[in-house]
Amino acid sequence: MNRDEAKNILLLYRNPADAEDPQIAEALALAKNDDNLAQWFEKLCARQNALREKFRQIAAPAGLKEQIEAAVKQKLGQAARTTQFDEFKGRLLSALRYDLEKIIFSRRNFALATATVIVALIALATFWFRPQKGDDTFAIYQNQMASVALRGYAMDFMAANPVEIRSYLAKNGAPSDYNFPAALEKIPVTGCAIESWQGKKVSMICFRTGKPLPPGQQSDLWLFVVDRATVKGAPVTSMPQFTKVNRLITSVWTQGDKMYLLGTEGDEQTIRKFL
């Protein structure tokens, strides 16, 4: 089994009980001896856990089950009428907002089952994530980014070099022409992620302040950078504004055409040290 084959198998991993499957057990064993694969698998598990947590916090609206069933029947009916099943799979995968780009449909039965799950997720995403009136306001943006930091995320790129992080963000079309406050430049970076806001990319730069962290947590200070024009009601001042969002204290300011949101757990005195 090579690395790519192991990745395809580990995409099926959901909990430790799955390790009893011989193929999954072999892939897990390979990951223990392959740093690249181990890092990829760690990110995969983090994304799955974050997604599960978000799903648990969303109450299913009335009639959602019927909407999903109707969507599944319609999409699978269309798939059955076409001989270009690979094209159908591609359309489904591209519609997903979650990263499933590495899935390979190795068996027809698995392909059909996976397609069913994907259609269900598309139906859910259409209902939950469609733009609503007022969804582009500053308050919504602030709460959404704070939730990303507090509820768990997977870094898209891990690095201790700020130059490498900036290069990665630029290469992937996320805001990269940002400026750190002088105090923040002294804080070690751990990596970055690219979040989404109203169809636009948000750069999330992760820092570690040096205080003890819970197991598995790699950062405790986060900076979000977005084009100011995409956030309705964004502050126009370069003076930081402080707001408590759940456990997170946030500082928001604008500079040029960018809006910055810095967040960490604590109070205003805590976050002022990084400005």
Final residue of a structural domain among 84, 106, 129: 129
The reply to whether 119 and 155 lie within a common domain is no
How confident is the model at residue 24, as a pLDDT? 84
Final residue of a structural domain among 104, 129, 154: 129
Backbone angles phi, psi at 159, to 5 degrees: -165, 150
Residue with the bigger pLDDT between 60 and 157: it is 157
**Lowest-pLDDT range, 14-23, 76-85, 256-265?**
76-85
**Average pLDDT for 102-119:** 49
Residue 59 has pLDDT above 60, yes or no: yes
> How many Å apart are CA 203 and CA 107, to the nearest integer?
38
The reply to whether 107 and 159 lie within a common domain is no
The reply to whether 124 and 106 lie within a common domain is yes
Q: How many domains does the chain have?
A: 2
Domain with 202 in it: 138-272
How confident is the model at residue 43, as a pLDDT? 86
DSSP structure string for 13-25:
--SGGGGGSHHHH
Residue 246 has pLDDT above 70, yes or no: yes
How confident is the model at residue 57, as a pLDDT? 74
The reply to whether 119 and 146 lie within a common domain is no
The reply to whether 80 and 118 lie within a common domain is yes
Final residue of a structural domain among 94, 129, 164: 129
- The secondary structure of residue 135, as a DSSP letter, is T
The reply to whether 145 and 119 lie within a common domain is no
**Average pLDDT for 3-27:** 80
The reply to whether 67 and 44 lie within a common domain is yes
Q: How would residue 74 be classed by pLDDT, with cut points 50, 70 and 90?
A: low
How confident is the model at residue 160, as a pLDDT? 96
How confident is the model at residue 207, as a pLDDT? 97
